[in-house]
Amino acid sequence: MATGLGRSQRFLSCMVTFQKCNCGVLSKFPQLSTSTYLHKARSSSERIKKSISQTGPSLTDFLRKSQPSQPALQGVDNVMGSGSYLGVHLFPGNNRSVYIETYGCQMNVNDTEIVRSILKQSGFVNSSSIEKADVVLAMTCAIREGAEDKIWRRLHYFKALKKRRGKRHSLKIGLLGCMAERLKHKIIDQEQMVDVVCGPDAYKDLPRLLVVTSSSNQAAVNVQLSLEETYADVVPVRLNSDSPSAFVSVMRGCDNMCTYCIVPFTRGRERSRPLTSIVNEINILSEQGCKEVTLLGQNVNSYRDLSSEEHTSSPTQLSAGFKTVYKPKTGGKRFAELLEAVALVNPEMRIRFTSPHPKDFPDEVLDTINAHPNICKHIHLPAQSGNSGVLDAMGRGYTREAYLELVEHVRKAIPDVALSSDFIAGFCGESEEAHKDTLSLMDIVKYNFAFCFPYSMRQKTRAYHRLEDNIPKEVKMKRHEELHATFRKHAEVRHMSQVGERHLILVEGESKRSSLDWAGRNDANTKVVFANEPLSYGSENGKEKVLAKPGDYVVVQLTSATSLGFKGKAIYRSTLQEFEEQRKKEDRNVCASL
């Protein structure tokens, strides 16, 4: 970056930012003013540098240094003192325009909506043009090497764009999300790629970081993880507010410490939003016409709201045969209660959730899913491997046998449930036999959908420190292809067996291939494409026919299938409840005729 500052000066500028945030790293200097701190810091820079390793703090550092109460913006919140979550007047955006690129999972999409809301509150405006924007932000993902490589290429492009503009139209570049936490030193010190680095728990501090970097021309960093931040008080700004679907973050972080996974290090410990704040947000979405909400969390079904006094003190129930790496937790409003509460907001609104861990499906969760027609009968059960030895090395807390018993139990509890899964090909030490066990598990379960990835080792993970990434790349790729082909083979057979059935489709919008077709999803979250023709309401014989629109439910007869979706013929428009009534009536008729 063209600041003319040496590396140590840039490091100090980051530390000033930390100090203002009350973060644990600089809590040693709580009484010092910024200028005093700068002086002291220069004379003790080595000591400070030792306090952060070159690759950033480990989870242990985070646990040790995290404050028990809100750490990121405590000072600013106190200044505001009226429930406002931002120091709006202290760090004004002055209508500067911000362009955001989002990479990675749905959590990142939702985090982008949270960031938009925070920036809007501070007077920044959204830009859809990178060329015209004053600030460019990248919401990043560190889960796989390929994702990071892509983001590095974009950062080089941003840097070139900034250089081209020069002083004519200055550009500030910011890195948000998981990569920010993982690679802060490399990005700021070595590569000098960005002006702002802001971790997943520090978004409320982003307006201040942008103001600091603009006024000082120095880099500003806050990657402090929090034990409490859930952004419960931030109403996300949805970019596509016309979409019938919305995502609502209900918990953050993960305590599972699967050995291959970077999430516990980049996102921190599990914490859940108060149930009431989630229900309030979903009520607002319902009033705005939203027809589908997906509850989000890194381990969503481990949800545990401790904010209210009125909750059970009983231990958390796990799926039979599953265990955790942490001590049993007690108390809190659990996932089943959350599901029940959000399902009751609007019986015409579909409820989905992702991403769950198979250990957190006690009967109370399965019974709640089964009891509410608007909770979709689709469960993601990430297996990762079908071999007990590999599962043990991954630290997943279950065996192949326990997983298969859970599958059987789920299918008994929720008839016609659709199952999907995640699989990793070529994890450390995975033999050919172990890989075949995974293929055979797929043959037994016959998933509706599966995400398959070749393993890529991430620094900081437990596998990085303890295991050897000893499967050659070409073997990983070959196994990945085999997993993918096996899932597709079974999904195609499963989907072909449904041709002729009538499914309720929530219309999302035009099909990508033809503006004459609508695309939507069935209860199992599988895509269905059908011709956009006028339809009557309630039955195919109605007189008044109108075109369906996004957000409408349409009963579609499936006419053909592939492993990834269906084509169908639209029959009539309906509601979720009427369709359910019709389905029950047909079931009763079938029973009576037997």
> For binding to ligand SF4 (CB under 6 A), which residues are involved?
254, 256-258, 261, 263-264, 298-299, 357
CB of 344 to ligand SF4, least distance (A): 28
In sequence order, what are the residues at sequence separation of 6 or more whose Cβ sits closer than 8 angstroms to the Cβ of residue 493? 446
In DSSP terms, 503 is beta-bridged to 556
Q: 530: how many CB neighbours lie within 10 A of its CB?
A: 24
DSSP string, 475-490: HHHHHHHHHHHHHHHH
Cβ closest to ligand SF4, residue 207 vs residue 386: 386
Cβ closest to ligand SF4, residue 211 vs residue 254: 254
Distance in angstroms between the alpha carbons of the first and the last residue of the chain:
76
CA gap 217, 196 in Å, rounded: 11
CB of 393 to ligand SF4, least distance (A): 13
Cβ closest to ligand SF4, residue 236 vs residue 264: 264
How many Cα atoms are found within 13 Å in the side-chain-facing hemisphere of 406? 27
CB of 50 to ligand SF4, least distance (A): 29
Cβ closest to ligand SF4, residue 227 vs residue 343: 227
CB of 151 to ligand SF4, least distance (A): 19
C-alpha distance from residue 343 to each of 66, 185, 239 (Å): 35, 44, 25
CA gap 569, 10 in Å, rounded: 62
Cβ closest to ligand SF4, residue 382 vs residue 550: 382
Cβ closest to ligand SF4, residue 194 vs residue 261: 261
CB of 103 to ligand SF4, least distance (A): 17
Torsion from C-alpha of 201, 207, 208, 209, nearest 10 degrees? 70
CB of 317 to ligand SF4, least distance (A): 17
DSSP string, 389-427: HHHHHHT-S--HHHHHHHHHHHHHHSTT-EEEEEEEES-
Cβ closest to ligand SF4, residue 262 vs residue 471: 262
CB of 146 to ligand SF4, least distance (A): 17
Cβ closest to ligand SF4, residue 162 vs residue 359: 359
The verdict on whether omega for the bond into residue 355 sits within 30 degrees of 0, i.e. cis, is yes
| Burial of 466 from C-beta contacts in 10 A (0-12 / 13-18 / 19+) | exposed
Residue 309, token pair as written in the block: 């006094």
Secondary structure of 161-193 in the HEC alphabet? HHHHHCCCCCCEEEEEEHHHHHHHHHHHHHCCC
CB 342 within 8 A of CB 282: yes
Q: 534: how many CB neighbours lie within 10 A of its CB?
A: 11
- For 244, which DSSP code? S
Cβ closest to ligand SF4, residue 96 vs residue 396: 396
User: Is the Cα torsion angle 67, 68, 72, 74 positive or negative in sign?
Assistant: negative
Q: Are strands 502-510 and 553-561 parallel, antiparallel or unpaired?
A: antiparallel
CB of 420 to ligand SF4, least distance (A): 15
CB of 37 to ligand SF4, least distance (A): 36
CB of 539 to ligand SF4, least distance (A): 45
Cβ closest to ligand SF4, residue 224 vs residue 298: 298
